[in-house]
Amino acid sequence: MYITCKGLTYAKVTGGGAGSAVTYSSGAVADNLVVKADINFQYAEGQDHADGIRIAHKKKLTGVNTAFELADLPSAIKKALLSWTTATNDLIIDDSDPDYYGIGFYVWNEEPVSETDQWICYWIYKSKFTVDGISVSTATDSINYQHQTINGVGVGVQLSSGGAMSFVITNDAPLATEAAAVAWLKAMAGIT
């Protein structure tokens, strides 16, 4: 279990992913918003048979679904990730097709034996996002925390000619500082 999940970083996909590295623009960091992050992998499965006997079982990664529960849903995220449009001082939710975005975050944990900090980053190469809806309630005698969730459907990208489809990348070894985690995500998003 991780102690902290934050550093939501995103950037618009501008090219690549069909035999070359994915390129991004308009990268941004929306720090301290992530309450919870879920990455769920989708698979296709099949079996090969010969004379009525199963001789092979195949399982292939076909996609990734993400959900980010956010403490707030600022206008910048509504306009970028969700493609909501602006008219005067209003945000309009319409049927426009959202752009593809790369998105990432980092988590912090303390390694229990050595009691050292560990920072792990995740980057989803290419996703489209939606929001489930808007849920509000009247204040009562008890505290009821409600957060908005944005959901993404990630598609594979081919980072090299003839290479396998890639969906998510994470740092190979835990990073030692939060600054290193922020720098890793900014590098993925093309933020200089």
Rounded mean pLDDT of 17-23?
Answer: 86
Residues 58-92: tens digit of each pLDDT = 888 888 999 888 888 788 888 888 887 777 777 77
pLDDT band at 188 (very low <50, low <70, confident <90, very high): very high
Distance CA(25)–CA(120), nearest Å, equals 23
Domain extents for the chain? 4-189
Alpha helices in 36-177 (DSSP H): 75-80
Query: For 89, which DSSP code?
Result: T
| pTM metric for this prediction | 0.81
Answer positive or negative: Cα dihedral of 30, 68, 7, 81. negative
Tokens 């959900």 identify what position?
A: 67
Buried/exposed code over 108-141 (b: 16+ C-beta within 10 A; e: otherwise): beeeeeeeebbbbbbbbbbbbbebeeeeeeeeee
Nearest residue to 175 (alpha-carbon basis) of 166, 165, 167, 185: 185
d(CA 98, CA 156): 17
In the structure, what pLDDT confidence band is assigned to residue 29 with cuts at 50, 70 and 90? very high
Whether 155 contacts 168, CB under 8 Å = no
